[in-house]
Amino acid sequence: MVLDSDMLFFKYPDELITWLQNPKHAFALKDPLDSYHYSMGLMEKLTKQPVTKYINVGAIGLNSPDIDWDAVERWIIELETTEGSSYLLEQALSAMIISGNKLQTPNPENYLVMPDKEQVIVQQGILHHYVDRSKQWYYKIAWRTVK
């Protein structure tokens, strides 16, 4: 399990803890957008199967021995050669790795990716992952409320 540093927990993360106690399948947050930078056509050509949509790697759990690391290396070369480098490479690769496997995503109403200002003010849910346009609410409001 990897957790990004731009997240805050406001309540006990039951779903995440339950997964950690029994990690049968991959775990990832649900993103409100498909934020992979790379085209779905290229990603699916490389994986030879439909790629899981709306994955956010702010909290991601994978079983690393099950990952075909040689394939990941080939994917990186092909993605960057064909469509350039991107800071979203990790997220695209994670979606590609998860494709074809079972995935556990916690309730997105409790594990919010890119919360809006009102959700930040009222501390809606359990976890906030401050990405993109929500990053400003992390710096202006959220971090000051954690005790």
Under 8 Å between Cβ of 28 and 56: yes
- Per-residue pLDDT band for 147 (boundaries 50, 70, 90) equals low
pLDDT at 146 over 80: no
- Give the 3-state DSSP-derived string for 28-54, with helices as H, strands as E and coil as C: EEECCCCCCCCCHHHHHHHHCCCCCCC
Helix residue ranges, H only, the chain: 14-21, 40-47, 69-83, 89-98, 117-121, 135-137, 143-145
pLDDT in tens, 102-138: 999 999 999 999 999 999 999 999 999 999 889 888 8
Under 8 Å between Cβ of 80 and 37: no
Q: In this predicted structure, what is the pLDDT of residue 18?
A: 94
Is pTM beyond 0.75 here? yes
**Residue of 104, 122, 124, 121 lying closest to 113 (CA atoms):** 124
